[in-house]
Structure 1
């Protein structure tokens, strides 16, 4: 009987529990969600994401953008026209001071006064249009950047606790600050400059074809060469720049986390580990920078040598 009782006890210990296992606890669920978030591949931005920025604009912002676009186009057109007026200046001076010139001093003075008035009008128009351009694009850039910051904070506070706990200290504020600053530059000053320079190029080509179409047709082959060089080197430069930005962001996150908890780091003696971790990201940035230098040098060399 004692042996049977001992066998029953041993079987009850070795046998699995008859109670059904309940659902996962909250901690297990959070760990599982965090593991899935880490395993999820990082999404790269594309041109649709850039256009998505303008979805935060109101109708008044679009009206202001239209005024800024027209001002940028007008400011870009004035530069080739200034060159035309300056060329007429040089032609009138050359014609008047040549020996045996039939141009009288009165005619020369009248033509110079008229051209000087044209030059002043173009300068004044360029100044006003550039002022409107810079003011409008910078104002709308600040407004859209503020709207994006607000939307980011709303979505951030709507996340669960495990998502907020998984972020390093200062990571959220550093991310939204750096990202919003980059977006503000991309939709304000740089966008206006891009429109202005493109209108300058188009206006210069039109003026050149009007003045001397045969010479312009020959020299315009350089434009095709420049597009070819930029099409080869620019994607690689942008890709390496993205890697540099990512490595710098990781290094900044490590530094921000260490400075936020500097007492804990000093108490635990983790200075060397933090420094080594920060140095790894800095070294990664340096390696990517070594790849970027020959690309930029090759692009500039091919463009300038032409």
Structure 2
């Protein structure tokens, strides 16, 4: 304002040129000093905001992951792995973008805007009041637009998280996707989620465009208002040219500063939308919290008395489908309890409740006389080991995968030599040591993502080794040998049988041959117990278990007969005499031949001492044609 008035006096009233030049030079230095100060302050401000933004984003990622890991299993029934990954990467990045340099730019712009109005009120409050209408128009437009931007950003991020979950499922099970030819269907499902993202993104862009257009329209309209009303104030003598230019320039600079930060509000809106989902997970308090170290009892001993009393349960994702309906069971220390029944009868749910993955909606579960809810969750899970039907291996070496079974035990921080001996012994018991030795790098062999570099049986045996390496007091086996071949199953089952003698065990099995020696067999149906007893007792009862055994026996006999038929169809012939069968391969026996074989087993006659005479031939012929043909076999 002062320089404007100096120029006005010089050109209008003809002041001294030397004094004019001196005054201009002197005031110009203030602009130089101001520029240097702005450079230093802006650099420091930007650095601090970016640095703190990185630190805060890192802490948000850490807290989010900790919060996700502490959630109960029911939370993950509705949240996919891809959505969690999307939150950690994309959403937190947007939050970081909104709280780093963008915040500095917004603070700088708003500060300039406020300072401009302060200067305006000092120089000419009448003109500044007239220009205050600009602030009202800008704030109303930006407030309404920001609310819509946050709304569409939240919708966009939610759909993007669902799309990420679909992509994660497809990419992690690519072989099954290709095998079933479901690429097009899954791609279409992914595209539908992307359409929602696109629609929300376009709507957000339109709102942002309207907000920018409205802001600049108001700014330019304010210019016209300022010069029109300012000329009237000059004519009326309310203000001079210098104060008018000062007020107008101040308001224009403030308006430009506010307009320059408009794109930053998009980042702020996106950050608010992303933060809503992230902080919703961070602030969620799980019903079953395993991270509370001091909550719950930690008994000195674990005996293994387990009691289910009238337990009722439904999964949170399917609240209208009852899984357990009045389930009651007593498990004594050292017992092996086998759970059998059709799929969906609630067998795996029993293990989930013992592991405290879920909480029952009715009834009581006690361990050693204590309610399971009163026990410390980490302590409880350290007393048991689980081998599931579908083993999960981490993307690391075999050694590291098995060593995870020692976490929480006294050997967790033991020397590598001690841990290696324990791991090797566990591998031998699980019948895994032989194939591990044949691998190129032995225990240090990488198993790949989810263990895809190993076969199903190899993964299962490593999972069994991981479970028994810590010598747990309660062993939970959910179809632990389902992926093994017949030979490996027998060896592993023998090793498991040895391990079962010293601890309480709950076994879920569909192959009834693996649970014949169980202390108690529980037959379940629709969440209730229909039969209970030992193998022999249930067979004598001739109930549901007897029918299951018969069905498996019939199936086994059918498979055995099919194998014999294949052997008879693949008879080997002598190379020298192609039309003569080789004696090295036995064909299926006829009824008469089986009778003779049974007679030989009973000692009816001896093959080595029999004499082929004429009268014996007559006797054989007179008996029956089958005996006649069998005579030539001797």
Shorter-chain TM range is: 0.5 to 0.7
Aligned equivalent of 1:111, options 10, 23, 26: 23
Q: Does residue 1:178 correspond to 2:90, yes or no?
A: yes
2:496 aligns to what?
none
1:101 aligns to what?
14
- CA deviation after TM superposition for structure 1 residue 300, in Å: 3.8
- CA deviation after TM superposition for structure 1 residue 194, in Å: 2.5
Aligned equivalent of 2:113, options 201, 204, 221: 201
> Using a 3 Å threshold, how does the CA distance of structure 1 residues 237 and 173 change in structure 2: closer, same or farther?
closer
2:133 aligns to what?
221
- CA deviation after TM superposition for structure 1 residue 124, in Å: 0.8
**The structure with more radius of gyration:** 2
Aligned equivalent of 1:288, options 200, 206, 212: 200
Aligned equivalent of 2:39, options 127, 133, 155: 127
Aligned mates of 2:140, 2:161 — CA distance in 1: 32
- CA deviation after TM superposition for structure 1 residue 140, in Å: 1.7
> Using a 3 Å threshold, how does the CA distance of structure 1 residues 268 and 91 change in structure 2: closer, same or farther?
farther
Aligned mates of 1:201, 1:305 — CA distance in 2: 17
Larger RCO, structure (CA 8 Å, separation 6 or more): 1
Aligned mates of 1:140, 1:294 — CA distance in 2: 32
- CA deviation after TM superposition for structure 1 residue 180, in Å: 2.3
Aligned mates of 1:145, 1:290 — CA distance in 2: 27
2:216 aligns to what?
304
> Using a 3 Å threshold, how does the CA distance of structure 1 residues 285 and 183 change in structure 2: closer, same or farther?
closer
Alignment of 1:1-306 (within 5 A): 87-96=1-10, 98=11, 101-104=14-17, 106-160=18-72, 168-306=80-218
Secondary structure (helix, strand or coil) at the match of 1:220 reads helix
Say which structure is richer in helix: 1
> Using a 3 Å threshold, how does the CA distance of structure 1 residues 158 and 237 change in structure 2: closer, same or farther?
closer
Aligned mates of 2:12, 2:170 — CA distance in 1: 79
Aligned mates of 2:203, 2:58 — CA distance in 1: 35
> Using a 3 Å threshold, how does the CA distance of structure 1 residues 160 and 302 change in structure 2: closer, same or farther?
closer
Secondary structure (helix, strand or coil) at the match of 1:269 reads coil
> Using a 3 Å threshold, how does the CA distance of structure 1 residues 109 and 158 change in structure 2: closer, same or farther?
same
> Using a 3 Å threshold, how does the CA distance of structure 1 residues 207 and 144 change in structure 2: closer, same or farther?
same
1:206-234 CA-to-partner distances (Å, cap 9, x unmatched) read 01111221111111112112222233333
- CA deviation after TM superposition for structure 1 residue 271, in Å: 0.9
- CA deviation after TM superposition for structure 1 residue 146, in Å: 1.9
**When the two structures are superposed, what TM-score results if normalisation uses the length of structure 2?**
0.32
> Using a 3 Å threshold, how does the CA distance of structure 1 residues 165 and 92 change in structure 2: closer, same or farther?
same
2:473 aligns to what?
none
Secondary structure (helix, strand or coil) at the match of 2:15 reads coil
> Using a 3 Å threshold, how does the CA distance of structure 1 residues 158 and 183 change in structure 2: closer, same or farther?
same
1:11-40 CA-to-partner distances (Å, cap 9, x unmatched) read xxxxxxxxxxxxxxxxxxxxxxxxxxxxxx
- CA deviation after TM superposition for structure 1 residue 259, in Å: 3.1
Say which structure is richer in strand: 2
Unaligned runs of 5+ in 2: 219-634
Indicate conservation of the 8 Å contact 1:169/1:260, yes or no.
Answer: no
Aligned mates of 1:293, 1:174 — CA distance in 2: 22
Aligned mates of 2:46, 2:205 — CA distance in 1: 32
Aligned mates of 2:109, 2:217 — CA distance in 1: 22
1:77 aligns to what?
none
Indicate conservation of the 8 Å contact 2:80/2:162, yes or no.
Answer: no
1:25 aligns to what?
none
- CA deviation after TM superposition for structure 1 residue 111, in Å: 1.7
Indicate conservation of the 8 Å contact 2:80/2:165, yes or no.
Answer: yes
- CA deviation after TM superposition for structure 1 residue 95, in Å: 4.0
- CA deviation after TM superposition for structure 1 residue 280, in Å: 0.3
> Using a 3 Å threshold, how does the CA distance of structure 1 residues 266 and 211 change in structure 2: closer, same or farther?
same
Indicate conservation of the 8 Å contact 1:229/1:303, yes or no.
Answer: yes
